[in-house]
Amino acid sequence: MPPSASHPFLHLLFLVLLVFPGLGAFAAAVGPRRSILRALDEGNGKPDYAVDLNSSSFDNVLNESPASFAIVEFFAHWCPACRNYKPHYEKVARLFNGPNAVHPGIILMARVDCAKKMNTNLCNKFSVGHYPMLLWGPPHKFTLGGWDSKQEKSEIQSIDDGRTAERLLNWINKRIGSSFSLDDDKFENENTLPWNASDPEQIARAIYDVEEATAQAFDIIVDNKRIRKETRVAFIKFFQLLVAHHPSRRCRKGTAGILVNFDDLWPSDYSNNSREGSLSHMQDGARSFSICGKEVPRGYWIFCRGSRNETRGFSCGLWVLLHSLSVRAGDGEAQQTFITICDFIHNFFMCEECRRHFHEMCSSVSTPFETTRAFVLWLWRSHNKVNERLIKVEKELRTEDPRYPKIIWPPKQLCESCSNSTSNQSGGMMPEWNEDEVFKFLVAYYGSTIISSYKDETITSSRKDESVVDDVITSNHAVAVPVGAALAIALASCTFGALACFWRTQQKNRKYLHQLHSLKNV
């Protein structure tokens, strides 16, 4: 451990947020409106939270949803009972859908108007016999076939008691063992997660935040015209790294698309053309690329949520990304990955102080990394040291997120064997680490657990009977995931960014003991 190293990694992001407190919001605001969920807000008057589906969007939206469950309301626009039901349904949907959802990423609430001709077949497939009719199930199960009340053992089931908002929410709470309330407010709510924190399916969802952060980073770069003659190389190298090792398949695909078109988007005589017109033309060109697919950014965070909206998860997602990259790079790539990440941060974070700190940190490394292990541990160690300092700085400046103070990571409860110290880690005390165990933990955690559930359409259509979630699990030896690792995502965020993660509270309150019976029975 270099004794004098200052640890700007965290500091860096912390400062970014400090100096640009609205950064996350800024990035979210500039992104083109690619998200269906977001598009809903653009209607006149009160926006709908529930997503309107039709036969052409049905499969896509449900397959792409990060939510664990979906509720689909089949209704007819001419039916007065349906019109009266809408406010009830919306009241519940407000909790789960849209960029300001209180409990994002858990339940997708949608509706289908069966009175529209194009949806007739769709409604028939689900044996819609009355309006409104509500069905419940994992989102992708809706796309696999239909539903029939006589069907036994279907993962889709009819919601028999959802006549009012209260009853519907009760039904949901009973179904998944949660304690949602219609009064739940964003950031003010302690009962956020009904999840089983040791369930690999839950951990795998961190990938959605990594995707979101990737998309925001790109938006920020484009909007601030950061790609210049002198930064081209750093950009290209980092994107090459993403193409090879981004944990999300669709981001790998999207970044590859940007690289393929790089010369058209940012010609090498770019700086000569910096008249406003051609610049904005290029911005538009770059923006038309969906770096992680059309549905990203979604405009909300699932794992990476602070208790204040300016501490929302951009840096959290970014950190998880950097760590994922570090564990994925092979021994022979370790040094290059290190340089690439250093250069990227150095060139694309617009904060002088952050840049300086970051540079110091990178410069403090004197011997090239010859193994993945050395690089992974360096990144982890730097974070913890920075974090140790940040715990103090934030306390002084009162910039900490009161609900999610930073901690040294990984905590004992996530990796028993990682340290032999009994010291109180949230006090910022560094325990004695067993680096072999820490390395094993980091690889399992950032390597196999966080991966993309996205599949190419061609693959999806030929393997329709397999659920996306099953795919996540079977392909990743998820049994190796340490108990409580989902919690670790959140804790990692506390550690690795100036933001928070609501799972800490969960853990404290042991709320996660009220849980799903098991997703497998759903």
Give the interface with ligand NAG as residue ranges (CB under 6 A): 25, 52, 54, 56-57, 118, 196, 198-199, 269, 272, 309, 420, 424, 426-427, 432, 434, 515, 518
Least separation in angstroms between residue 240's CB and ligand NAG is: 26
**Known catalytic residue: 351?**
no
Least separation in angstroms between residue 518's CB and ligand NAG is: 5
Identity at 236, one-letter amino acid code? I
**Please, which residue, 255 or 449, has the CB nearer to ligand NAG?**
449
**Please, which residue, 252 or 381, has the CB nearer to ligand NAG?**
381
Least separation in angstroms between residue 430's CB and ligand NAG is: 12
The residue annotated as part of the active site, out of 82, 354, 415, 501, is: 82
**Please, which residue, 73 or 333, has the CB nearer to ligand NAG?**
73
**Please, which residue, 340 or 419, has the CB nearer to ligand NAG?**
419
**Please, which residue, 322 or 473, has the CB nearer to ligand NAG?**
473
Least separation in angstroms between residue 57's CB and ligand NAG is: 4
Least separation in angstroms between residue 516's CB and ligand NAG is: 6
Tokens of 268: 């090498």
Q: Is residue 11 packed enough to be buried (19+ CB in 10 Å), middle (13-18) or exposed (0-12)?
A: buried
- Beta pairing class for 51-53 and 107-113: parallel
Identity at 383, one-letter amino acid code? H
**117, 151, 118: which is closest to 137 by C-alpha?**
151
Least separation in angstroms between residue 118's CB and ligand NAG is: 5
Alpha-carbon span 97 to 104, nearest angstrom = 6
Helices 372-397 & 334-348 angle (0-180, nearest 10): 30
Least separation in angstroms between residue 293's CB and ligand NAG is: 16
φ, ψ of residue 313 to 5 degrees: the values are: -75, 20
**437, 433, 455: which is closest to 445 by C-alpha?**
437
**Please, which residue, 198 or 336, has the CB nearer to ligand NAG?**
198
Least separation in angstroms between residue 501's CB and ligand NAG is: 18
**CA 120 remoteness from chain centre:** 35
Classified as helix, coil or strand, 21 is coil
**Please, which residue, 312 or 357, has the CB nearer to ligand NAG?**
312
How many degrees, rounded to 5, is the angle at CA 53 between CA 52 and CA 55?
155
**201, 460, 445: which is closest to 323 by C-alpha?**
445
**Known catalytic residue: 123?**
no
- 46 near 87, Cβ under 8 Å? no
Alpha-carbon span 378 to 419, nearest angstrom = 17
**315, 327, 384: which is closest to 354 by C-alpha?**
315
SS3 content of the chain, % helix, strand, coil (to 5): 55, 5, 40
Tokens of 493: 């965020």
Alpha-carbon span 330 to 370, nearest angstrom = 10
- 82 near 75, Cβ under 8 Å? yes
Tokens of 431: 């325990």
DSSP per-residue letters across 51-94? EEE-TTTHHHHHHH---SEEEEEEE-TT-HHHHHHHHHHHHHHH
Least separation in angstroms between residue 29's CB and ligand NAG is: 7
**Please, which residue, 25 or 339, has the CB nearer to ligand NAG?**
25
Alpha helices in 261-313 (DSSP H): 262-265, 276-287
First-residue to last-residue Cα distance in the chain: 48
Rg over alpha carbons for the chain, rounded to the nearest Å, is 23
**Please, which residue, 124 or 272, has the CB nearer to ligand NAG?**
272
Which residues belong to the active site? 79, 82
